[in-house]
């Protein structure tokens, strides 16, 4: 799975995987939805909701909690539609592929640490394996039917540049950065793929050195950021921070400390570990834009437009693709009907 295909399924990754990795709880198997006759049970919807509770995202009212569950159920319906489509399309996922992805999930944790994290969420390895397999089916389907079909013509790029030329007038040097952050305190907002959070200064120091060693050993910076970075704003995007101007880093001593490190980097280079009051950073310089008007012949300008238009097309095609599959599917959302019925009964009583 290449980097571009990983981004196509951005909304299908963490949230959906967690739905299928949720901890099963004993209950009557009440059906909350059906997709082409395949049931989705109440207990499976409750799984992800319980994880939200663990992350201190508890709903303030019963209505808000029910709204969360309706959203989760809708994700699960879309998930099931895509998995069924993958099966109908003859897409294959080998056990070797599943094993490789499971190995990524475990690395670089010790077996005991991985097992403890599963136990913390009430999971078994079989449940994780099932979730990984389903995710791989979805990724392969979207890679084949969406990502591989996307092209951006020279005419489209030129038209975009014509309409947005002012965006490429750089008033000062800009640094396109990725980052990995490890903080010395627990944070319920951590959403990296490993759900990994250093909870003390010593744990943070050990973790950042381990991540540095992973990268020096050949692991891709973006993959390490997705898996382990503790910055909730950038980890899901592989640590990409965007374009930063030096003048924007003069507002605090901590940012000025990072500024001096960033300005010393060459394109493609990764910084040494930087310790700040917030935590430990690793920074990677992806690109460097010099001041002035950058025209379409500039490779960075062309690449930026290419990425932007590709992402735009990916999101549009994904939305349309899911809607088309949903239109063809026989979907019954029993929870939604129950909410409507209960509201009608409440209105009659009031």
The region, left, alpha or beta by phi > 0 then psi within -120 to 50, assigned to residue 246 is alpha
Rounded distance between C-alpha atoms, residue 309 and residue 161, angstroms: 11
Rounded distance between C-alpha atoms, residue 197 and residue 183, angstroms: 8
Rounded distance between C-alpha atoms, residue 99 and residue 97, angstroms: 5
Q: Which residues pair with 33 in a beta bridge?
A: 40, 333
H-type alpha helices, 89-200: 95-106, 111-120, 125-145, 154-163
Rounded distance between C-alpha atoms, residue 230 and residue 207, angstroms: 11
Residue 343, SS3 per DSSP: helix
Residue 211, SS3 per DSSP: helix
Rounded distance between C-alpha atoms, residue 238 and residue 229, angstroms: 9
CATH of domain 172-290: 3.10.50.40
Residues of the chain with pLDDT under 50: 1-27, 349-350
Report domain extents, the chain.
3-148+321-349, 172-290
Rounded distance between C-alpha atoms, residue 324 and residue 321, angstroms: 5
pLDDT in tens, 86-106: 999 999 999 999 999 888 878
Residue 235, SS3 per DSSP: helix
pLDDT of residue 171: 92
CATH of domain 3-148+321-349: 1.10.4030.10
Rounded distance between C-alpha atoms, residue 306 and residue 304, angstroms: 5
Distance of CA 116 to the CA centre of its chain: 23
**Which pair of structure tokens corresponds to residue 8?**
């196509």
For 71, counting Cβ atoms within 10 Å of its Cβ (0-12 exposed, 13-18 middle, 19+ buried), the class is middle
Largest CA distance in the chain: 70
Q: Which residues pair with 335 in a beta bridge?
A: none
Half-sphere exposure of 268 (CA within 13 A, CB side): 0
Query: Helix 125-145 vs helix 299-328: angle between axes, to the nearest 10 degrees?
Result: 110
pLDDT of residue 110: 76
Pairing state of beta strands 31-35 and 38-41? antiparallel
Contact between 74 and 19 under an 8 Å Cβ cutoff? The reply is no
Residues with Cβ within 8 Å of residue 170, at least 6 apart in sequence:
289, 290, 291, 292, 293, 294
Q: Which of 117, 122, 132 is nearest to 26 (CA)?
A: 122
pLDDT of residue 59: 64
Cα 34 to Cα 257, 320, 338: the distances in Å are 55, 21, 14
Q: Which residues pair with 288 in a beta bridge?
A: 175
DSSP 204-232: HHHHHHHHHHHHHTT--HHHHHHHH---T
Fill in the DSSP letter of residue 344: H
**Count of CB atoms within 10 A of residue 350's CB?**
5
- For the chain, the distance separating the N- and C-terminal CA atoms, rounded to the nearest angstrom, is 55
Contact between 27 and 42 under an 8 Å Cβ cutoff? The reply is yes
């Amino acid at each position: 799975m290449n980097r571009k295909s990983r981004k196509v399924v951005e909304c299908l990754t963490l949230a959906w995987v967690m739905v299928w990795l949720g901890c099963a709880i004993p209950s009557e198997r009440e059906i909350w939805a059906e997709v082409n006759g395949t049931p989705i049970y109440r207990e499976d919807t409750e799984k992800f909701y319980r994880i939200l509770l663990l992350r201190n995202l508890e709903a303030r009212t019963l209505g808000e909690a029910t709204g969360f569950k309706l959203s989760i159920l809708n994700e699960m319906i879309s998930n099931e539609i895509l998995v069924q489509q993958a099966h109908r399309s003859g897409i294959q996922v080998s056990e070797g592929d599943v094993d490789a992805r499971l190995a990524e999930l475990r690395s670089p944790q010790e077996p005991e640490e991985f097992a403890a994290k599963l136990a913390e969420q009430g999971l078994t390895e079989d449940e994780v394996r099932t979730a990984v397999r389903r995710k791989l089916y979805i990724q392969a389907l979207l890679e084949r039917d969406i990502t591989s079909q996307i092209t951006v013509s020279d005419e489209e790029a030129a038209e975009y540049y014509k309409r947005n030329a002012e965006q490429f007038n750089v008033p000062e040097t800009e640094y396109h950065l990725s980052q990995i952050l490890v903080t010395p305190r627990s944070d319920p907002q951590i959403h990296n793929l490993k759900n990994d959070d250093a909870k003390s200064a010593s744990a943070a120091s050990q973790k950042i050195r381990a991540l540095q060693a992973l990268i020096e050993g050949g692991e891709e910076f973006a993959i390490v950021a997705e898996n382990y970075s503790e910055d909730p704003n950038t980890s899901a995007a592989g640590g990409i921070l965007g374009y930063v101007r030096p003048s924007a880093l003069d507002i605090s001593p901590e940012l000025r400390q990072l500024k001096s490190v960033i300005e010393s980097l060459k394109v493609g280079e990764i910084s040494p570990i930087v310790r700040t009051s917030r935590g430990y950073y690793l920074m990677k310089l992806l690109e460097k834009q010099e001041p002035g008007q950058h025209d379409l012949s500039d490779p960075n300008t062309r690449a930026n437009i290419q990425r932007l238009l590709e992402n735009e097309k990916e999101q549009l095609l994904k939305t349309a693709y899911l809607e088309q599959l949903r239109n063809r599917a026989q979907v019954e959302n029993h929870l939604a009907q129950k909410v409507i019925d209960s509201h009608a009964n409440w209105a009659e009583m009031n």
